[in-house]
Chain A
Amino acid sequence: MELNLLEQLDVNGHLTISKLYRDGSEEIVFDDHNIIVSGMGVALAHLFALSGSNSILDYQIDRFQIGTSANAESVSTTMLSLPIGVVSSYGLNSNVITASGYQIVNNSVVNNSKIYGIIPQHHITRVDANTVRYTIVLDEFACNNLTDISGDANIREVGLFIKNIKNNNPVAPILVAYRVFSPIRKTTDFALIFRWSINF
Protein backbone atom coordinates (compact mmCIF):
# COMPACT_ATOMS: atom_id res chain seq x y z
CA MET A 1 0.00 0.00 0.00
CA GLU A 2 1.26 3.44 -0.78
CA LEU A 3 -0.10 6.91 -0.09
CA ASN A 4 1.34 10.37 -0.81
CA LEU A 5 0.54 12.73 2.05
CA LEU A 6 1.05 16.19 0.55
CA GLU A 7 -0.48 15.25 -2.81
CA GLN A 8 -3.54 13.57 -1.42
CA LEU A 9 -4.20 16.10 1.30
CA ASP A 10 -3.54 18.81 -1.30
CA VAL A 11 -1.61 20.95 1.16
CA ASN A 12 -1.61 24.42 -0.32
CA GLY A 13 -1.22 28.03 0.64
CA HIS A 14 -2.28 31.54 -0.22
CA LEU A 15 -0.36 34.74 0.28
CA THR A 16 -1.70 38.26 0.45
CA ILE A 17 0.72 41.17 0.76
CA SER A 18 -0.53 44.62 1.57
CA LYS A 19 0.88 48.01 2.36
CA LEU A 20 -0.52 49.54 5.52
CA TYR A 21 -0.16 53.31 5.59
CA ARG A 22 -0.03 55.48 8.68
CA ASP A 23 -3.52 56.82 8.04
CA GLY A 24 -4.83 53.26 8.35
CA SER A 25 -5.48 52.73 4.67
CA GLU A 26 -4.40 49.42 3.22
CA GLU A 27 -3.37 48.62 -0.32
CA ILE A 28 -3.17 45.01 -1.46
CA VAL A 29 -0.15 44.59 -3.70
CA PHE A 30 -0.12 40.82 -4.07
CA ASP A 31 -2.81 38.16 -3.74
CA ASP A 32 -2.04 34.68 -5.05
CA HIS A 33 -1.22 31.08 -4.18
CA ASN A 34 2.21 30.07 -2.92
CA ILE A 35 4.48 27.09 -3.49
CA ILE A 36 4.64 24.39 -0.84
CA VAL A 37 8.18 23.07 -1.30
CA SER A 38 9.64 19.64 -0.62
CA GLY A 39 10.92 20.78 2.77
CA MET A 40 7.38 20.41 4.11
CA GLY A 41 7.46 16.71 3.26
CA VAL A 42 10.93 16.30 4.70
CA ALA A 43 9.81 17.89 7.96
CA LEU A 44 6.68 15.77 8.25
CA ALA A 45 8.62 12.61 7.41
CA HIS A 46 10.95 13.34 10.34
CA LEU A 47 7.93 13.83 12.58
CA PHE A 48 6.04 10.69 11.58
CA ALA A 49 9.15 8.52 11.54
CA LEU A 50 10.10 9.81 14.99
CA SER A 51 13.56 10.35 13.58
CA GLY A 52 14.06 14.00 14.47
CA SER A 53 13.52 16.35 17.37
CA ASN A 54 11.55 15.13 20.41
CA SER A 55 9.72 18.43 20.74
CA ILE A 56 6.68 19.11 18.57
CA LEU A 57 7.56 22.82 18.69
CA ASP A 58 10.53 22.08 16.44
CA TYR A 59 8.09 20.98 13.71
CA GLN A 60 6.18 24.24 13.69
CA ILE A 61 6.37 27.01 11.12
CA ASP A 62 7.64 29.83 13.30
CA ARG A 63 10.01 31.89 11.16
CA PHE A 64 10.45 33.56 7.82
CA GLN A 65 13.00 35.14 5.55
CA ILE A 66 12.67 38.10 3.24
CA GLY A 67 14.83 38.24 0.13
CA THR A 68 15.77 40.64 -2.62
CA SER A 69 16.08 38.30 -5.59
CA ALA A 70 14.03 35.46 -7.05
CA ASN A 71 14.42 31.71 -7.25
CA ALA A 72 12.50 29.34 -9.43
CA GLU A 73 9.11 28.70 -7.91
CA SER A 74 9.18 24.95 -7.78
CA VAL A 75 8.64 22.28 -5.16
CA SER A 76 12.36 21.56 -5.24
CA THR A 77 13.28 25.07 -4.04
CA THR A 78 15.23 24.74 -0.82
CA MET A 79 16.29 28.31 -0.04
CA LEU A 80 15.65 31.92 -0.89
CA SER A 81 17.67 33.35 -3.75
CA LEU A 82 19.10 36.26 -1.77
CA PRO A 83 17.79 36.39 1.79
CA ILE A 84 18.50 39.37 4.01
CA GLY A 85 21.79 38.50 5.64
CA VAL A 86 22.22 41.05 8.39
CA VAL A 87 20.02 41.76 11.39
CA SER A 88 20.15 45.51 10.81
CA SER A 89 18.37 45.11 7.47
CA TYR A 90 15.31 43.88 9.34
CA GLY A 91 15.43 47.26 11.06
CA LEU A 92 17.15 47.99 14.33
CA ASN A 93 14.18 50.04 15.54
CA SER A 94 11.55 47.75 14.15
CA ASN A 95 9.44 45.25 16.07
CA VAL A 96 10.67 42.36 13.96
CA ILE A 97 12.29 39.76 16.20
CA THR A 98 15.21 38.05 14.52
CA ALA A 99 17.24 34.93 15.23
CA SER A 100 20.23 33.37 13.58
CA GLY A 101 20.54 29.75 12.61
CA TYR A 102 21.79 27.27 10.08
CA GLN A 103 19.55 25.84 7.40
CA ILE A 104 18.58 22.39 6.16
CA VAL A 105 19.12 22.01 2.43
CA ASN A 106 18.51 18.68 0.71
CA ASN A 107 18.10 17.02 4.10
CA SER A 108 21.54 18.16 5.31
CA VAL A 109 22.38 20.93 7.73
CA VAL A 110 24.37 23.67 5.98
CA ASN A 111 26.63 25.35 8.50
CA ASN A 112 26.25 28.90 7.26
CA SER A 113 24.63 31.25 9.70
CA LYS A 114 21.51 32.91 8.34
CA ILE A 115 19.08 35.46 9.73
CA TYR A 116 15.41 34.63 10.25
CA GLY A 117 12.47 36.71 11.35
CA ILE A 118 10.38 35.09 14.09
CA ILE A 119 6.60 34.93 13.75
CA PRO A 120 5.15 35.71 17.19
CA GLN A 121 2.69 33.13 18.58
CA HIS A 122 -0.17 35.64 18.49
CA HIS A 123 0.40 36.10 14.76
CA ILE A 124 -0.32 32.39 14.16
CA THR A 125 -4.06 31.90 13.88
CA ARG A 126 -6.22 28.84 13.39
CA VAL A 127 -8.62 30.04 10.68
CA ASP A 128 -10.58 26.80 10.44
CA ALA A 129 -10.08 23.13 11.21
CA ASN A 130 -7.43 22.65 8.53
CA THR A 131 -6.09 26.15 7.94
CA VAL A 132 -3.45 28.15 9.79
CA ARG A 133 -2.71 31.78 8.99
CA TYR A 134 0.69 33.32 9.61
CA THR A 135 0.85 37.09 9.73
CA ILE A 136 4.22 38.70 9.17
CA VAL A 137 4.46 42.40 9.87
CA LEU A 138 7.36 44.45 8.55
CA ASP A 139 6.54 47.67 10.34
CA GLU A 140 7.51 51.13 9.09
CA PHE A 141 11.01 50.71 10.55
CA ALA A 142 11.72 47.33 8.99
CA CYS A 143 13.52 46.44 5.79
CA ASN A 144 13.63 50.01 4.50
CA ASN A 145 15.72 51.19 1.59
CA LEU A 146 17.57 47.90 1.25
CA THR A 147 20.73 47.71 -0.76
CA ASP A 148 22.94 44.93 -2.00
CA ILE A 149 26.24 44.83 -3.87
CA SER A 150 24.58 46.11 -7.03
CA GLY A 151 22.93 49.06 -5.34
CA ASP A 152 19.26 49.52 -4.35
CA ALA A 153 17.51 46.24 -3.61
CA ASN A 154 13.79 45.64 -3.47
CA ILE A 155 11.91 42.97 -1.58
CA ARG A 156 11.06 40.23 -4.07
CA GLU A 157 10.71 36.91 -2.24
CA VAL A 158 9.54 35.48 1.03
CA GLY A 159 9.75 32.06 2.62
CA LEU A 160 8.26 30.26 5.61
CA PHE A 161 10.43 27.90 7.66
CA ILE A 162 9.85 25.07 10.09
CA LYS A 163 12.01 25.58 13.15
CA ASN A 164 14.42 22.73 13.82
CA ILE A 165 13.36 19.21 12.80
CA LYS A 166 16.78 17.68 13.40
CA ASN A 167 17.13 19.24 16.85
CA ASN A 168 20.33 20.86 15.65
CA ASN A 169 22.35 23.28 17.75
CA PRO A 170 22.18 26.03 16.58
CA VAL A 171 18.72 25.60 15.14
CA ALA A 172 18.56 24.58 11.48
CA PRO A 173 15.22 25.63 9.96
CA ILE A 174 13.92 24.18 6.70
CA LEU A 175 12.08 26.07 3.96
CA VAL A 176 8.49 24.81 3.55
CA ALA A 177 6.70 27.53 1.56
CA TYR A 178 8.00 30.08 -0.90
CA ARG A 179 6.78 32.86 -3.11
CA VAL A 180 8.23 35.42 -5.48
CA PHE A 181 6.37 38.67 -6.17
CA SER A 182 6.81 41.97 -7.96
CA PRO A 183 9.57 44.09 -6.41
CA ILE A 184 8.51 46.22 -3.48
CA ARG A 185 10.62 49.18 -2.37
CA LYS A 186 10.01 49.34 1.35
CA THR A 187 10.11 52.77 2.97
CA THR A 188 9.04 54.36 6.25
CA ASP A 189 5.78 55.42 4.59
CA PHE A 190 4.11 52.08 5.20
CA ALA A 191 4.23 48.75 6.95
CA LEU A 192 4.19 45.63 4.84
CA ILE A 193 1.79 42.91 5.97
CA PHE A 194 2.10 39.33 4.75
CA ARG A 195 -1.00 37.24 5.45
CA TRP A 196 -0.06 33.69 4.61
CA SER A 197 -2.59 30.89 4.94
CA ILE A 198 -1.56 27.26 4.77
CA ASN A 199 -4.34 24.74 4.26
CA PHE A 200 -3.41 21.24 5.45
Chain B
Amino acid sequence: MFVDKAGEHLADIMTVNRSLSAIPSASSILDTSNYTFQAISYGKDAAGFKYHAHTILTPSGDGIIKVISYGNKSASNYSPSATAAYLNYNQYPSSPKPTDTRLEPNSTAPNYSSGVPDLGQYLNPTIHPQLSSMAHLIGGIPSAGGSKYQIFDTSNNLILSGVLLGSIYNLSGLMDSSGFLNFVQAPLDIQQFLYTYSEDLNTYPDSICLGVIRSAESNFPSEVSLKWGLFGGECGALSLFGGVYHIGLWCLDIKQMLKEGNSPPYSFNPLNNKRRYKLFAKKTFNKDLTFNEDEFGLSSFKVLFQDGSGWDFALPVIVLKWNIKFV
Protein backbone atom coordinates (compact mmCIF):
# COMPACT_ATOMS: atom_id res chain seq x y z
CA MET B 1 0.00 0.00 0.00
CA PHE B 2 1.19 3.49 -0.83
CA VAL B 3 0.65 5.68 2.19
CA ASP B 4 -0.55 9.28 2.23
CA LYS B 5 3.03 10.42 2.69
CA ALA B 6 3.72 9.15 -0.84
CA GLY B 7 1.22 11.64 -2.22
CA GLU B 8 2.72 14.32 -0.01
CA HIS B 9 6.14 13.43 -1.37
CA LEU B 10 4.92 13.88 -4.96
CA ALA B 11 3.37 17.23 -4.02
CA ASP B 12 6.70 18.20 -2.45
CA ILE B 13 8.44 17.39 -5.74
CA MET B 14 5.96 19.46 -7.73
CA THR B 15 6.47 22.50 -5.53
CA VAL B 16 10.25 22.61 -5.12
CA ASN B 17 11.16 26.23 -5.78
CA ARG B 18 12.75 26.74 -9.19
CA SER B 19 14.79 29.65 -7.95
CA LEU B 20 17.01 27.25 -5.98
CA SER B 21 18.74 26.42 -9.24
CA ALA B 22 20.22 29.92 -9.27
CA ILE B 23 21.78 29.52 -5.82
CA PRO B 24 24.97 27.43 -6.11
CA SER B 25 24.96 26.38 -2.45
CA ALA B 26 21.35 25.20 -2.66
CA SER B 27 21.22 23.70 -6.11
CA SER B 28 22.24 20.25 -4.85
CA ILE B 29 18.83 20.05 -3.19
CA LEU B 30 17.50 19.66 -6.72
CA ASP B 31 19.37 16.42 -7.42
CA THR B 32 16.79 13.82 -8.47
CA SER B 33 18.39 11.14 -6.29
CA ASN B 34 17.21 13.06 -3.22
CA TYR B 35 13.61 12.32 -4.20
CA THR B 36 13.62 8.68 -5.22
CA PHE B 37 13.40 5.45 -3.21
CA GLN B 38 16.29 5.21 -0.77
CA ALA B 39 15.67 2.51 1.84
CA ILE B 40 13.88 -0.70 2.80
CA SER B 41 13.08 -1.78 6.35
CA TYR B 42 11.58 -4.80 8.08
CA GLY B 43 8.98 -5.02 10.79
CA LYS B 44 6.58 -7.25 12.66
CA ASP B 45 3.63 -7.12 15.05
CA ALA B 46 4.11 -4.72 17.97
CA ALA B 47 3.41 -7.36 20.62
CA GLY B 48 6.17 -9.53 19.21
CA PHE B 49 8.76 -7.07 20.51
CA LYS B 50 7.96 -8.36 24.00
CA TYR B 51 8.38 -12.03 23.14
CA HIS B 52 10.67 -14.40 21.23
CA ALA B 53 14.36 -13.52 21.60
CA HIS B 54 13.33 -10.20 23.14
CA THR B 55 12.50 -12.21 26.29
CA ILE B 56 15.28 -11.61 28.78
CA LEU B 57 16.73 -15.02 29.73
CA THR B 58 19.63 -15.45 32.15
CA PRO B 59 22.42 -14.79 31.84
CA SER B 60 21.22 -11.69 30.00
CA GLY B 61 24.55 -10.02 29.30
CA ASP B 62 26.36 -12.81 27.50
CA GLY B 63 25.62 -11.55 23.99
CA ILE B 64 23.85 -14.76 22.96
CA ILE B 65 20.48 -14.58 21.20
CA LYS B 66 18.38 -16.91 23.35
CA VAL B 67 14.85 -18.10 22.80
CA ILE B 68 12.43 -20.69 24.22
CA SER B 69 10.75 -22.84 21.61
CA TYR B 70 7.10 -23.60 22.29
CA GLY B 71 6.72 -25.56 19.08
CA ASN B 72 7.10 -29.21 18.18
CA LYS B 73 9.59 -30.65 20.64
CA SER B 74 11.27 -32.73 17.97
CA ALA B 75 11.80 -29.76 15.65
CA SER B 76 15.24 -28.21 15.38
CA ASN B 77 14.11 -24.73 14.51
CA TYR B 78 12.18 -21.85 16.01
CA SER B 79 8.54 -21.10 15.26
CA PRO B 80 7.34 -17.58 16.21
CA SER B 81 3.74 -18.55 15.53
CA ALA B 82 3.99 -21.49 17.98
CA THR B 83 5.22 -19.03 20.62
CA ALA B 84 2.27 -16.73 19.96
CA ALA B 85 -0.16 -19.63 20.12
CA TYR B 86 1.32 -21.03 23.34
CA LEU B 87 1.53 -17.69 25.12
CA ASN B 88 -1.80 -16.63 23.64
CA TYR B 89 -0.81 -13.22 22.36
CA ASN B 90 -1.99 -11.51 19.19
CA GLN B 91 0.75 -11.99 16.64
CA TYR B 92 -1.00 -10.17 13.82
CA PRO B 93 0.77 -7.10 12.51
CA SER B 94 -1.41 -4.01 12.31
CA SER B 95 -3.34 -3.67 9.06
CA PRO B 96 -1.78 -1.15 6.71
CA LYS B 97 -3.52 2.20 6.66
CA PRO B 98 -2.99 5.16 4.30
CA THR B 99 -2.19 7.35 7.29
CA ASP B 100 0.70 5.15 8.44
CA THR B 101 4.03 6.88 8.79
CA ARG B 102 5.91 3.83 10.10
CA LEU B 103 5.63 0.08 9.70
CA GLU B 104 4.01 -0.68 13.05
CA PRO B 105 2.04 2.19 14.57
CA ASN B 106 2.06 0.78 18.11
CA SER B 107 5.10 0.83 20.36
CA THR B 108 7.87 -1.49 19.28
CA ALA B 109 10.05 -0.94 22.34
CA PRO B 110 11.52 -4.32 23.32
CA ASN B 111 11.75 -5.61 26.91
CA TYR B 112 15.26 -4.25 27.10
CA SER B 113 14.35 -0.67 26.22
CA SER B 114 17.03 1.49 27.76
CA GLY B 115 18.06 3.98 25.08
CA VAL B 116 16.31 1.95 22.38
CA PRO B 117 14.45 4.16 19.89
CA ASP B 118 10.85 3.20 19.15
CA LEU B 119 10.84 3.37 15.35
CA GLY B 120 8.10 0.85 14.55
CA GLN B 121 10.50 -1.59 12.93
CA TYR B 122 13.46 -3.86 13.45
CA LEU B 123 16.65 -2.06 14.38
CA ASN B 124 20.25 -2.94 13.68
CA PRO B 125 21.75 -2.27 17.14
CA THR B 126 24.89 -4.32 16.49
CA ILE B 127 26.51 -1.24 14.95
CA HIS B 128 25.08 1.24 17.47
CA PRO B 129 27.81 2.50 19.83
CA GLN B 130 25.56 2.46 22.92
CA LEU B 131 23.29 -0.47 22.10
CA SER B 132 25.62 -3.02 20.56
CA SER B 133 26.27 -4.81 23.87
CA MET B 134 22.53 -5.52 24.20
CA ALA B 135 21.92 -6.23 20.51
CA HIS B 136 21.10 -9.85 21.35
CA LEU B 137 18.02 -8.63 23.27
CA ILE B 138 17.01 -5.75 21.01
CA GLY B 139 17.26 -7.55 17.67
CA GLY B 140 16.92 -8.20 14.93
CA ILE B 141 20.07 -8.09 12.69
CA PRO B 142 23.12 -10.17 13.69
CA SER B 143 26.70 -8.96 13.65
CA ALA B 144 28.97 -9.07 10.61
CA GLY B 145 30.94 -11.90 12.19
CA GLY B 146 27.82 -13.90 13.04
CA SER B 147 25.94 -13.94 16.35
CA LYS B 148 25.70 -16.83 18.78
CA TYR B 149 22.26 -18.26 19.41
CA GLN B 150 20.62 -20.84 21.65
CA ILE B 151 17.18 -22.39 21.36
CA PHE B 152 15.74 -24.02 24.50
CA ASP B 153 12.64 -26.11 24.98
CA THR B 154 10.06 -25.23 27.63
CA SER B 155 11.93 -27.40 30.15
CA ASN B 156 15.02 -25.27 29.65
CA ASN B 157 16.87 -27.98 27.73
CA LEU B 158 19.11 -26.68 24.96
CA ILE B 159 17.81 -28.09 21.68
CA LEU B 160 19.88 -26.12 19.20
CA SER B 161 22.81 -23.71 19.37
CA GLY B 162 25.50 -22.32 17.17
CA VAL B 163 26.65 -19.20 15.40
CA LEU B 164 24.50 -17.54 12.77
CA LEU B 165 26.00 -16.78 9.40
CA GLY B 166 27.62 -13.35 9.34
CA SER B 167 25.35 -10.49 8.40
CA ILE B 168 25.91 -9.33 4.84
CA TYR B 169 24.05 -6.11 5.68
CA ASN B 170 26.62 -5.30 8.36
CA LEU B 171 29.63 -6.79 6.64
CA SER B 172 28.98 -4.60 3.61
CA GLY B 173 27.71 -1.57 5.53
CA LEU B 174 24.29 -1.68 3.88
CA MET B 175 22.08 -0.99 6.88
CA ASP B 176 22.17 1.77 9.48
CA SER B 177 21.47 1.23 13.18
CA SER B 178 17.83 2.24 12.70
CA GLY B 179 17.30 -0.70 10.36
CA PHE B 180 17.24 1.13 7.03
CA LEU B 181 18.70 -0.98 4.23
CA ASN B 182 20.34 1.20 1.62
CA PHE B 183 19.87 1.10 -2.15
CA VAL B 184 22.77 0.37 -4.46
CA GLN B 185 24.52 3.68 -5.04
CA ALA B 186 25.60 3.23 -8.64
CA PRO B 187 24.59 4.48 -12.09
CA LEU B 188 21.48 2.84 -13.49
CA ASP B 189 23.38 0.84 -16.12
CA ILE B 190 25.44 -0.83 -13.39
CA GLN B 191 22.30 -1.54 -11.37
CA GLN B 192 20.78 -2.99 -14.51
CA PHE B 193 23.79 -5.25 -14.86
CA LEU B 194 23.50 -6.35 -11.21
CA TYR B 195 19.76 -6.91 -11.56
CA THR B 196 20.21 -9.12 -14.58
CA TYR B 197 23.10 -11.13 -13.18
CA SER B 198 21.41 -11.62 -9.83
CA GLU B 199 18.93 -13.84 -11.67
CA ASP B 200 21.73 -16.41 -11.67
CA LEU B 201 22.96 -16.31 -8.09
CA ASN B 202 24.88 -19.56 -8.31
CA THR B 203 27.20 -17.99 -10.87
CA TYR B 204 27.09 -14.41 -9.61
CA PRO B 205 26.37 -14.62 -5.86
CA ASP B 206 27.90 -11.22 -5.15
CA SER B 207 25.55 -9.39 -7.50
CA ILE B 208 22.90 -9.03 -4.82
CA CYS B 209 25.19 -8.15 -1.91
CA LEU B 210 25.35 -4.41 -2.55
CA GLY B 211 21.90 -3.34 -1.36
CA VAL B 212 18.56 -2.86 -3.03
CA ILE B 213 18.90 -2.87 -6.80
CA ARG B 214 16.53 -0.93 -9.03
CA SER B 215 15.76 -1.90 -12.58
CA ALA B 216 14.30 0.04 -15.45
CA GLU B 217 14.49 -2.48 -18.22
CA SER B 218 11.94 -5.01 -19.40
CA ASN B 219 8.69 -3.24 -18.54
CA PHE B 220 10.01 0.29 -18.19
CA PRO B 221 8.43 2.87 -18.06
CA SER B 222 5.31 0.95 -17.10
CA GLU B 223 7.14 -0.58 -14.21
CA VAL B 224 10.20 -0.11 -12.03
CA SER B 225 11.49 -3.22 -10.27
CA LEU B 226 13.37 -3.45 -6.99
CA LYS B 227 15.29 -6.51 -5.87
CA TRP B 228 17.32 -7.37 -2.80
CA GLY B 229 18.33 -10.31 -0.68
CA LEU B 230 17.57 -11.47 2.82
CA PHE B 231 20.63 -13.50 3.76
CA GLY B 232 21.03 -16.50 6.05
CA GLY B 233 22.37 -14.61 9.06
CA GLU B 234 19.71 -11.91 8.87
CA CYS B 235 16.97 -14.43 8.21
CA GLY B 236 17.95 -16.63 11.16
CA ALA B 237 18.14 -13.74 13.59
CA LEU B 238 14.87 -12.23 12.39
CA SER B 239 13.22 -15.64 12.81
CA LEU B 240 14.46 -15.86 16.42
CA PHE B 241 13.13 -12.36 17.10
CA GLY B 242 9.66 -13.18 15.78
CA GLY B 243 9.84 -13.11 11.99
CA VAL B 244 9.10 -10.54 9.30
CA TYR B 245 5.55 -9.34 8.61
CA HIS B 246 6.11 -5.82 7.28
CA ILE B 247 8.37 -4.41 4.59
CA GLY B 248 8.66 -0.67 4.17
CA LEU B 249 9.81 1.41 1.20
CA TRP B 250 11.22 4.80 2.14
CA CYS B 251 12.26 8.06 0.48
CA LEU B 252 14.38 10.79 2.01
CA ASP B 253 12.61 13.35 4.16
CA ILE B 254 14.35 16.37 2.66
CA LYS B 255 12.29 18.92 4.55
CA GLN B 256 13.09 17.33 7.89
CA MET B 257 16.79 17.17 7.09
CA LEU B 258 16.88 20.80 5.99
CA LYS B 259 15.01 21.74 9.15
CA GLU B 260 17.74 19.98 11.14
CA GLY B 261 20.39 21.96 9.28
CA ASN B 262 21.51 18.94 7.31
CA SER B 263 22.38 20.02 3.78
CA PRO B 264 22.94 17.77 0.76
CA PRO B 265 24.62 15.69 -0.46
CA TYR B 266 22.93 13.10 1.74
CA SER B 267 25.41 10.27 1.54
CA PHE B 268 24.68 7.04 3.37
CA ASN B 269 26.93 6.26 6.32
CA PRO B 270 25.72 3.20 8.27
CA LEU B 271 27.65 4.17 11.40
CA ASN B 272 26.45 7.75 11.48
CA ASN B 273 23.52 8.07 9.16
CA LYS B 274 22.30 11.67 8.97
CA ARG B 275 19.54 10.70 6.58
CA ARG B 276 15.92 11.04 7.65
CA TYR B 277 13.38 8.87 5.88
CA LYS B 278 9.72 9.20 4.98
CA LEU B 279 7.55 6.11 4.49
CA PHE B 280 6.39 5.82 0.89
CA ALA B 281 4.83 2.35 0.76
CA LYS B 282 4.49 -0.71 2.93
CA LYS B 283 3.61 -4.33 2.41
CA THR B 284 2.15 -6.37 5.25
CA PHE B 285 2.08 -10.15 5.20
CA ASN B 286 -0.10 -12.54 7.16
CA LYS B 287 2.64 -15.15 7.16
CA ASP B 288 6.17 -14.84 8.48
CA LEU B 289 8.64 -14.40 5.62
CA THR B 290 11.31 -16.26 7.60
CA PHE B 291 9.08 -19.29 8.19
CA ASN B 292 11.04 -22.52 7.93
CA GLU B 293 10.49 -26.10 9.00
CA ASP B 294 12.59 -29.24 9.26
CA GLU B 295 12.59 -31.61 6.34
CA PHE B 296 14.09 -35.07 5.74
CA GLY B 297 15.30 -35.09 9.32
CA LEU B 298 17.42 -32.01 8.76
CA SER B 299 17.22 -28.83 10.78
CA SER B 300 16.11 -26.12 8.38
CA PHE B 301 17.42 -23.52 10.79
CA LYS B 302 20.90 -25.03 10.87
CA VAL B 303 21.11 -25.69 7.14
CA LEU B 304 20.02 -22.24 6.06
CA PHE B 305 21.14 -19.92 8.81
CA GLN B 306 24.08 -21.43 10.67
CA ASP B 307 27.76 -20.89 10.08
CA GLY B 308 29.58 -24.02 8.99
CA SER B 309 26.49 -25.60 7.47
CA GLY B 310 27.91 -25.20 4.00
CA TRP B 311 25.41 -22.53 2.98
CA ASP B 312 27.24 -19.63 1.34
CA PHE B 313 26.68 -16.68 3.66
CA ALA B 314 26.71 -14.36 0.65
CA LEU B 315 23.88 -16.28 -0.99
CA PRO B 316 20.47 -14.93 -0.02
CA VAL B 317 17.97 -17.30 1.55
CA ILE B 318 15.16 -15.13 0.21
CA VAL B 319 15.27 -12.87 -2.84
CA LEU B 320 12.63 -10.18 -2.68
CA LYS B 321 11.27 -8.42 -5.75
CA TRP B 322 8.99 -5.44 -5.56
CA ASN B 323 7.47 -4.16 -8.82
CA ILE B 324 6.09 -0.64 -8.77
CA LYS B 325 3.68 -0.05 -11.63
CA PHE B 326 3.37 3.47 -12.98
CA VAL B 327 1.23 3.03 -16.10
Show the binding face of A for B, using Cβ within 8 Å: 1-9, 11, 38, 41-42, 44-62, 107, 121, 124, 126, 129-132, 198-200
- Chain B residue, CB-CB nearest to A167: B32
Q: Hey, which chain B residues are within 8 Å of A55, CB to CB? A: 21, 30-32
The answer to whether A47 touches B13 (Cβ under 8 A) is yes
Known contacts A1-B323, A42-B326, A57-B30; is A51 also within 8 Å of B216 by CB?
Answer: yes
**B18 neighbours in A (Cβ, 8 Å):** 57, 60, 62, 121
CB A63 to nearest CB in B, in angstroms, measures 12
B6 on the A face (CB < 8 A): yes
The answer to whether A5 and B326 touch (CB under 8 A), given A47-B36, A55-B30, A56-B35, is: yes
- Which residues of B approach A to under 8 Å, CB–CB? 1-2, 4, 6-8, 10-11, 13-19, 21, 30-37, 188, 214-216, 220-224, 247, 281, 283, 320-327
The reply to whether B222 and A45 form a contact with Cβ atoms under 8 Å apart is yes
15 extra A-B contacts, CB within 8 A, seeds A51-B188, A200-B6: A1-B323, A3-B1, A41-B221, A42-B221, A42-B326, A44-B326, A45-B222, A45-B326, A47-B32, A50-B188, A51-B220, A55-B31, A107-B221, A129-B4, A130-B10
Top 6 A-B pairs, shortest CB-CB distance: A49-B216, A41-B326, A45-B221, A41-B327, A200-B10, A130-B7
Shortest Cβ distance from A131 into B: residue: B11
The total number of A-B Cβ pairs within 8 Å is: 142
**B1 contacts which chain A residues (CB < 8 A)?**
3, 8
Whether B15 lies near A126 (C-beta < 8 A) is: yes
**Beta-carbon contact of B15 and A132 below 8 Å:** yes
Is the Cβ of A132 less than 8 Å from the Cβ of B221? no
B327 touches A42 (CB 8 A): yes
